[in-house]
Amino acid sequence: MLYTRSEAIAAITGPNRPFELIDGDVWGRRCRIFRNAPSTLRDIFEASRCDAPFIVYHDERYTFEDTWQMSSRIARLLIDGYHISPGDRVAISMRNYPEWAFCFNAITSIGAIAVAMNALWQSEEMEFGLNDCGARVLFADQERVDRMAPFLDRCSASVITVKSEHLLEGMRPLSELLEAIGPVEMPDQRPEADSRATILYTSGSTGHPKGAVSSHRNIISALWGWEAEAHIGAYMVRGDEPAPATPAPDNQPATLLGVPLFHATGSHAVMLQSYRPRRKMVSMYKWDVEEAARLIEAERITSFVGPATMTGDLVAAARRTNRDLSTLTSVGGGGAPRAPEQVRSIASTFKGAMPGTGWGMTETNAIGTGIGGQQYLQRPGSSGRAACMLELRILDETGNELPAGQRGELQIRGASIIEGYWKRPEANAEAFDGDWLRTGDVAYLDEEGYLFIVDRIKDLVIRGGENIGCAQVEGAIVEYPGVHEASVYAVPDERLGEELGATLYCTEPVDPDALRDFLSQHLARFEIPRYIEIVSEPLPRIASGKINKRQLRDEAVGKFLETTSAAGR
């Protein structure tokens, strides 16, 4: 017998079921929580110990047991060598090396807070992040070490380097520090379910990035939610539950890590979600679609998740190469909507893989809504239905809840929602409406509960899955001599979804390339506008005195795209 979604949810989350949901509260907010979920991430790491392959990076291979042992040694180093106590912040800023996972596991297993710093940040942003979170220790690779030179004398964090040869004063290599620590047990210092586990920085619509704070319970609620949704989907499609979480040794699932681990998608949906099913995770130094296709074939990858940019690249690569990508069973997405044609292309290109996507935020620990398979093919513009332990509502401008089909602000509540922003009470007051998180998205729900995102209230650009706060970019631009006003906005892009455009009122001649060189010293590369228009008159404003960004965007986008099209001919 096949189940409706409501029947499947009742069967999976009802009394005495493995994913039983009960009424509770998290951070003082009412929500539904999983009765039988593990208490902490440490519990998940320890339960996964086995000799199955876990992390593959180039010629490095580590099992789940190897990962536990390495994490135990780093945890001992943090406690004995750096006197890290529960609640202390320890930052990670590096590429997707195996050490990222080892350090994260060690930090969270001893009750400290793992600060996943954006590895694309330049010097000024790194300095802000370290000062903002008050990190006691930073794990950094060579690229991040080099970026610390301008502010090293002002940095209070102890720096432990990973895969680095050229160190700055006071830095110590992790490999050298671990030589003195042989096999050890994981320290007794433990976290609690509601203790803080992570700070992930998210770009806001104004000012500096904000540190989103999550507890172990928040993160595990997301992990348990995704697993529960897999069972619910199986009931709806086959009338039964999926195979047990632990696979047969000769049939290990494998996922390709192409997104950064400092994003909740990478750390949660890919890395942390790999522990329970003992899934192999194959990591890339950076996204390279030809290398991705090679790895899928060589490592027999079964699942991949990435923004529309990456999945679009993968579809194109599959069509032009002779790589055997038949092991793929799932191509997931998120970060920004896919074009309907790409949704259909995934289904037609990968014979055994169905497309899927979802909507989530750093503030929700990446979970929110989900959709896949035939449901997605039938509704390619939808982000899916809410995960079983989450609730959605749509409000009008006066705070009234709207019926199906009407557009308004999307709000969400549930056990995976963050505590708030690190030391930002004013941002917390703005972000929460009682128990509900204001998402800043304009959306509607249809009669069956499917979510459709149609616009953003917040002034953000989403470029290839990266959130860019326009105000931060504008602030950097007006520091350049001759720039009097700046307005930054989204320009549609076929591959990345959106690119950054800017209209500048300049009181003296400004060379766009020289401006970009200047910005590269203050912003991450992805935050530097691709399109720049310079005008000699003050920018238009609306009645409130704010710059009329919508008018500027509408006027400039056509010219930008026409110029790009002409250049390609």
List of domains in the chain? 460-568 (3.30.300.30)
**Exposed, middle or buried: residue 443 (CB in 10 Å: 0-12, 13-18, 19+)?**
buried
Classify residue 28 by its DSSP letter: T
**Around Cβ 374, how many Cβ atoms within 10 Å?**
10
Q: How far apart are the first and last CA of the chain?
A: 56
**Around Cβ 479, how many Cβ atoms within 10 Å?**
11
| DSSP structure string for 167-216 | PPTT-EEHHHHHHT--S-PPPS----TTSEEEEEEE--SSSS-EEEEEEH
In sequence order, the 6+-apart residues with CB closer than 8 A to the CB of 335 are 265, 307, 308, 462, 464, 465, 466
pLDDT tens, residue order, the chain (569 aa): 788 999 999 999 999 999 999 999 999 999 999 999 999 999 999 999 999 999 999 999 999 999 999 999 999 999 999 999 999 999 999 999 999 999 999 999 999 999 999 998 999 999 999 999 999 999 999 999 999 999 999 999 999 999 999 999 999 999 999 998 989 999 999 999 999 999 999 875 556 889 999 999 999 999 999 999 999 988 887 776 655 554 445 689 999 999 999 999 999 999 999 999 999 999 999 999 999 999 999 999 999 998 877 888 888 888 888 888 889 998 888 766 676 777 888 878 887 888 888 999 999 999 999 998 888 889 988 999 999 999 999 999 899 999 999 999 999 999 999 999 999 999 999 999 999 999 988 899 999 999 998 877 777 788 887 878 787 788 889 889 888 888 898 888 888 888 999 999 898 899 999 999 999 988 989 999 999 999 988 888 765 456 788 888 888 888 887 776 555 54
Q: Are strands 280-283 and 158-162 parallel, antiparallel or unpaired?
A: unpaired
**Exposed, middle or buried: residue 262 (CB in 10 Å: 0-12, 13-18, 19+)?**
buried
Are the beta carbons of 57 and 97 closer than 8 angstroms? yes
- pLDDT score for 541: 75
**b/e sequence 99-113, b meaning 16+ C-beta within 10 Å:** bbbbbbbbbbbbbbb
Q: Are strands 53-57 and 280-283 parallel, antiparallel or unpaired?
A: parallel
Length of the chain: 569
In sequence order, the 6+-apart residues with CB closer than 8 A to the CB of 278 are 48, 50, 52, 54, 64, 245, 246, 247, 252
- pLDDT score for 569: 43
- pLDDT score for 175: 96
Classify residue 269 by its DSSP letter: I
Q: d(Cα 74, Cα 184) in Å, to the nearest integer?
A: 10
CA-based radius of gyration for the chain: 23
Q: d(Cα 48, Cα 276) in Å, to the nearest integer?
A: 6
pTM of the model: 0.85
- 3-state SS class at 148: coil
Phi, psi angles (nearest 5°) of residue 199: -125, 120
Computed from CA positions of residues 41, 44, 46, 50, in that sequence, does the dihedral angle turn out positive or negative?
negative
Q: d(Cα 379, Cα 197) in Å, to the nearest integer?
A: 36
Are the beta carbons of 70 and 58 closer than 8 angstroms? no
